[in-house]
Each structure stands twice: as C-alpha cells, then as structure tokens.
Amino acid sequence: MTLFYYKYHDGFHSSMLQQQEMARNVLSFPGSVPAHGVVLTLLLLLLLPLRPLAARHDYHNALRKSILFFEGQRSGRLPPDQRVRWRKDSALHDGATAGVDLTGGYYDAGDNVKFGFPMAFTTTLLSWSVIDFGRTMGPELRNAVRAVKWGTDYLLKATAVPDVVFVQVGDAYSDHNCWERPEDMDTLRTVYKVDRAHPGSDVAGETAAALAAASIVFRSRDPAYSRLLLSRAIRVFEFADKYRGAYSSSLHSAVCPFYCDVNGYQDELLWAAAWLHKASRMREYREYIARNEVILRAGDTINEFGWDNKHAGINVLISKEVLRGRAEYFESFLQNADGFICSLLPGISHPQVQYSPGGLIFKAGGSNMQHVTSLSFLLLAYSNYLSHANKAVPCGETSATPALLRRLAKRQVDYILGDNPMGMSYMVGYGSRYPRRIHHRGSSLPSVEAHPARIACKAGSPYYQSPNPNPNLLVGAVVGGPNTSDAFPDSRQIFQQSEPTTYINAPLVGLLAFFSAHP
C-alpha cells in the first residue's frame, strides 16, 4: 500500500515552524543558553497559537459533537431519541450463541467488533470526565451521563455470570475481511469470555474500574443503579485478583494483535483498586494499593496511559488524595505523578514523548491521537488538583505551575480543533476543514435509509477504495491524526491516521468541558 502525504505551506505557518526549528537548534548548543532558558523558550514557542488569536474556538460546540460521536458508535437497539439518524439497529442477537444477552455497548472504532477492553477503558474515562468536569458541561452533562450508561448497561450484561466476564463479541478476522454496515453484518459474532480456567485480570480489572468509576457518576443521580454498579465492580475485582492471568494468553488468537495486552495485568488491578477506593472509601482497597504500589516504579512507563497501560493515570488519580492531605502514606504516587508531568514538558528529554514541529504530542505506535487526548486529560486533571493545593511541580530549573499545565493541555486541544500546520480540524464536523474519508464502515457506506438493500461483505469494497468523501458524517469523531511531520493524507486506507476510536474521544470530553467554561 502506498502512502501519500499532503504538504501544506503558507507564510504564517512556515514562519511559526521556522521559530520552532530555531528553538530545537538551541538544544544543539547547550552552552549558549541556560538549560531552564531552553525549556522556557520551547514552552513559549509550543504554546503560541498557529492562527490569529481573534479566531477563538467554540469549545462548547466541540464538546457537544464529541459526545454525539458516541451515539454513532452504538450497537444494539437504538432508542427513540437517537440523534445520529443515519445509524439503525444492529447486532440484535449478540450473545445468543453463548446463551446470554450481549446486545448494546459500543463499537470501539471503524469496524463492527465489540472489544471489551477498550470499551471498559472508554467507560472509565467518560466517567472520570463527568466526575471532574461535569459541572462545566452545561446542558451536555445529560448526554455525557447517557453515554456512560450506554457503556455500563452493557458491562453489567457482560459480568452477569459470577467469575465470568464476556470480553468480546465478533470474530475480528471475519469482520476485517468485510466492509459492511453494522446493520447488514453477517460475519461471525463469536462470543469470547474469561473465567477461572482462562483468566483475564487485565480486562476484568479494567471492567471493575469502569463500573466503580461510573458508580460515582450515578451516586446522586440514581442511587440504586450506583449501588448495583459498585457491588458488581467489587465482585469483578475479586475475580480478577483471585484468578490471575493475562487475557492475551487465554484468548490470544481472538484478541491479538488487535487489543493484545503487552503491558501485563498488574496495573489494571491497581487501577481498579484505586477506583474502588475512591467509590467506596473501604480500607481494604487502600491497603491493597499500599501493598502493590511497587509495580509503578518502572521508569520507562511513567508517561504511559491508555487502554493497555494505566501507570500515569493511577499516579494522578491517587495523588489527588495526597494533595488534599488525606493520604500522606501514598506520597510515592505523588512523586511519580510529578515525574510524569516533567516528562511531558517540551525541552525536557524523555525518549517516550516527542513533539511534532507543529507542537502535537507524539508517541510511537498507531492512532497517535489516543495519546494526545489521554495525556492532555491527565495534565488538566493534575493542574486542578495542584491548584486546589496551591502547589506546583518542580522540574529541574523550571516550575510547572497549574496554569502552565492547563496551557499545555489547551494547546493540544486547539491543535485537534484546527490550530495546526495543516489548518485542519481533526474532529469530523467541526470547523470548515476536517477529515472526509475516515476509516469507518458505517460512515463510508450509504445509509440504510439511502440504500435499503443489503450491502454484502465484499460488495462494500468499492466504497472502501473510493476516493470520494464518506456519505455519512460521523459528527464529533476524532481520527488518529497526523504523522510526526504534521501531515495528514485524509485516506480511508491509512487507518492508523484516519480511524476514530471511542477512547480518543472519552478523555477529550473532559478537556472540552473545562475549556468551554474557561476559554
């Protein structure tokens, strides 16, 4: 497959990139400028906008669209108030082959498989967004809570049998061999589970975390539902901890290489315990965290946070309690969180984090925007925790203040919304220029309303290969994003850059909520 990259130049953007190149050149001559001067110079340049200040972003509009995206990813029977009208009911018999009801939930990306691991992580991050930033969502809070519940309703079904978690519906190889609408799919809807004999502490741990976090969301809104979520989270965590093992070992042929856990399951167990402690305030989870904190001492994972690695998220989440003076015995997590913050500052060398010439966080691997939104979310959350404690993070000669962390997070959000060398919004439907050929089956094929006849497995291939824009706008979808040079081909075939995912959007919901109230 040949990759094509568009080049974009104009006077303003070229000038900006030249300034950033000059800043990078300073690093080649460390004797010419004090180290803290280099860091401050890079921070200043990377925080400069790539377009006139008068063109403010409408963060509330972007927030509304980022939440609307989740309705386009729904599986199962759609409710009467479904707002993404070109989507229809799909996968109404999921779970039938295993004698259980597994309808509902989310398709994680541009295919029609329901992967439980990223779906649970998505639900956890949506819940965290509501917990920390729900008060600034305005009328969109209701839709954000509904997005959480669509996930938890499914996770409750997936955990209804004790010591069993149903972790996937759909054979990924069969699905990826076809290009068809979810409403038409006739691929294998194989059900995969972890149990006592085939453990999956990673996916079960993340599921417990999602249920526990969501129980906080519903604590005052629906107390009975909240209690159900918490009790189920406790049961699922006990299963995950007692029957230890990686689901990638138990279900390797089904989940790898798609969502293969390469980071181990210990972080998910600690992540789940942290959320259970936050949700229940039970001493046993605090003691569990204290006994297992040693797993977070690996330096090379200090700035990792995503569906597979929870290290940075655990440190930030637990540090909130330390900064409030409630848990001094967790001081090591605060130190780790500070180290995470320092590793993200432009100009402070860390092999795991780079910045593109246009200022976008970049980490190795596919779908880079998942790192941008999740790490930016942690920057913003931690900035708020620091602000309430009237503290800053010492990073050598530089002091990372809460205001600085917010500006860094905002710079990433603004890049996504269009302040970048391509002059393109990476959120579908936001702004005047955005991806039109996203790697997404439902969006790229004619809707059921426009084309009532079934489109079979291979009959969809011409739509996949077509250079034409997608006929259905998946409003609010944020794609994988540009490459290390800030170039974006807008090609359906280059899925690493053109495919949206639920776990890109979930942390972005919290970011946009905050900046809609604090532009």
pLDDT, average across residues 343-355: 80
pLDDT computed for residue 11 by the predictor: 27
pLDDT, average across residues 188-214: 98
pLDDT tens digits, 91-123: 999 999 999 999 999 999 999 999 999 999 999
Residue 301 binned pLDDT confidence (cut-offs 50, 70, 90): low
pLDDT computed for residue 223 by the predictor: 98
pLDDT computed for residue 365 by the predictor: 78
pLDDT, average across residues 355-384: 95
- Gap between the Cα atoms of 36 and 357, Å rounded: 21
- Gap between the Cα atoms of 143 and 136, Å rounded: 13
Residue 191 binned pLDDT confidence (cut-offs 50, 70, 90): very high
pLDDT computed for residue 349 by the predictor: 56
- Gap between the Cα atoms of 289 and 319, Å rounded: 12
pLDDT computed for residue 21 by the predictor: 37
> What angle is formed at CA 475 by the lines to CA 471 and CA 478, rounded to 5 degrees?
110
Q: Does 164 have pLDDT greater than 60?
A: yes
| 113 touches 175 (CB < 8 A) | yes
pLDDT tens digits, 453-482: 999 999 999 999 999 999 999 999 999 999
Residue 295 binned pLDDT confidence (cut-offs 50, 70, 90): low
pLDDT computed for residue 24 by the predictor: 35
> What angle is formed at CA 230 by the lines to CA 163 and CA 104, rounded to 5 degrees?
70
pLDDT computed for residue 300 by the predictor: 54
Exposure class string for 341-377: b at 16+ Cβ within 10 A, else e: bbbbbbbbebeebebbbbbbbbeeeebbbbbbbbbbb
Q: Enter the tokens of residue 45.
A: 């340049």
pLDDT computed for residue 293 by the predictor: 82
pLDDT computed for residue 326 by the predictor: 74
Q: Does 28 have pLDDT greater than 50?
A: no
Q: Does 59 have pLDDT greater than 70?
A: yes
pTM: 0.90
pLDDT, average across residues 159-165: 98
pLDDT computed for residue 18 by the predictor: 35
- Gap between the Cα atoms of 441 and 446, Å rounded: 10
CA quadruple 342, 347, 352, 358: dihedral sign: positive
Q: Does 307 have pLDDT greater than 90?
A: yes
Q: What is the 3-state secondary structure (H, E, C) of 316-362?
A: HHHHHHHHCCCCHHHHHHHHHHHHHHHHHCCCCCCCCCEECCCCCEE
pLDDT, average across residues 238-265: 93
pLDDT computed for residue 328 by the predictor: 73
- Give 381 or 396, the one with higher predicted confidence: 381
Give residues with Cβ within 8 angstroms of 405, minimum separation 6.
341, 379, 380, 382, 383, 386, 393
Share of the chain above pLDDT 90, in %: 80
Structural domains in the chain, CATH included, are 59-517 (1.50.10.10)
- Gap between the Cα atoms of 168 and 356, Å rounded: 35
Strand partners, 201: none
Q: Enter the tokens of residue 395.
A: 């990073």
Residue 8 binned pLDDT confidence (cut-offs 50, 70, 90): very low
Query: Which amino acids are annotated catalytic?
Result: 439, 490, 499
H or E element, residue 399: strand 398-400
pLDDT, average across residues 158-179: 97
Cis peptide before 346 (omega within 30 of 0): no
- Give 408 or 51, the one with higher predicted confidence: 408
| pLDDT averaged over every residue in the chain | 89
Quick one: 85 exposed, middle or buried, by C-beta within 10 A (0-12, 13-18, 19+)?
Answer: exposed
Residue 303 binned pLDDT confidence (cut-offs 50, 70, 90): confident
